[in-house]
Amino acid sequence: MVRAFRLAEIAERLGGEIAGNPEVSVYQVATLENAGPGHISFLSKSRYRRLLATTRAGAIILSSADRGATSIPRILCEDPYLYFANVSRMFNPEQQARPGIHPSAVVDADATVSPGAQLDAGCVVGAGAHIGDGVIIGAGSTIGERTHIGRNTRLHARVTVYQDCEIGQRCLLHSGAIIGADGFGLARDGESWLKIPQIGRVLIGNDVEIGANTTVDRGAIDDTVIEDGVKLDNQIQIGHNVRIGAHTAMAGCVGVAGSATIGRSCTVGGGAVILGHLSIADHVNVSAGTLVTKSISAPGTYTGAFPADDHKSWLKNAAHLRGLDAFARRLSALEKKERTK
């Protein structure tokens, strides 16, 4: 059951200034459009300001500059969206482990499972694996041999972690995530392909979140490394020997090819592709749908998407693009001729 909090209690925990009745009680967060009297909402973007006139929210989180934008009881702060995130965490705390092993779970005799861990129905834990205190292993998940899962990490149902991988503390892995599958390592052998054994591991730091159906391949020789605080959305592919720096976030359907190195505190928009063996500097923002074909050595925002247009115009522009090389050669020749006059 969700507990209600008075605005005074929220501000005492999280800071901020209260304008209006501090005794107003709220029990959940909601959008301005859908909030009711028991909800607290927030305004962080000016395009939603019009909703302040019609919202039924019991309280609102605003920036200090918007103090007079409404008479509804409100908490004033520097960053309303961050403050909202912390309030939501108050109302919706993370699930805590209910210690115990379900009778249908299969745990190898050589595995170590903390008495404070929770293993749900149908789990499989391989020989030599270590499951830390407060860990939750969801139904049907598989933990490979000699794999280490750190304290208070949660795996939702049907997560697969292959052998010899390491996952740090307070991580969250969503259903369908696969950690440590073979990288795409092949050598040409005449008309066929020879598989190269993938003998590296996957090493995941603390406070990492990995989305549903995201795959992180093990290294070919060295390890694939996901540093502390990385956030990976759903359906992302991380190739072998990739290294992702701390606190980098990637949106859905990103693809990172083998041996790429991504810096710290980067963002990668949905559907972007980063080719193999490239290096991306710290604090780089890659826009959605961008194809990164060369290393990026300086922080900043990089965009390579070709915007959508009506089909006829798009075909015409694409034809122009195909002719750019010939046009550039003609222009260069004209400039050279002009210089020799």
Pairing between β-strand 74-77 and β-strand 17-19 as defined by DSSP bridges:
antiparallel
Q: Which residue carries 């010899």 as its tokens?
A: 164
Calpha distance 150→307 (Å, rounded): 44
Pairing between β-strand 5-6 and β-strand 25-26 as defined by DSSP bridges:
antiparallel
Calpha distance 53→70 (Å, rounded): 8
The one catalytic residue among 148, 240, 277, 311: 240
Take residue 186 and report the two structure tokens written for it: 């092949």
**CB atoms inside a 10 Å sphere around CB 60:** 27
- What SS3 class is residue 28? strand
Calpha distance 41→60 (Å, rounded): 5
Calpha distance 230→226 (Å, rounded): 7
- Single-letter amino acid code for the residue at 280: I
Q: Is the CB of residue 9 less than 8 Å from the CB of residue 28?
A: no
Q: Which of 42, 36, 34 is nearest to 69 (CA)?
A: 42
Please give the span between the terminal C-alpha atoms of the chain, in angstroms, as a whole number.
85
Q: Is the CB of residue 95 less than 8 Å from the CB of residue 113?
A: no
Calpha distance 57→37 (Å, rounded): 5
Q: Is the CB of residue 11 less than 8 Å from the CB of residue 75?
A: yes
Q: Is 240 a catalytic residue?
A: yes
User: What angle (nearest 5°) sits at the alpha carbon of residue 164, between those of residues 158 and 168?
Assistant: 70
- What SS3 class is residue 7? helix
Q: Which of the residues are catalytic?
A: 240
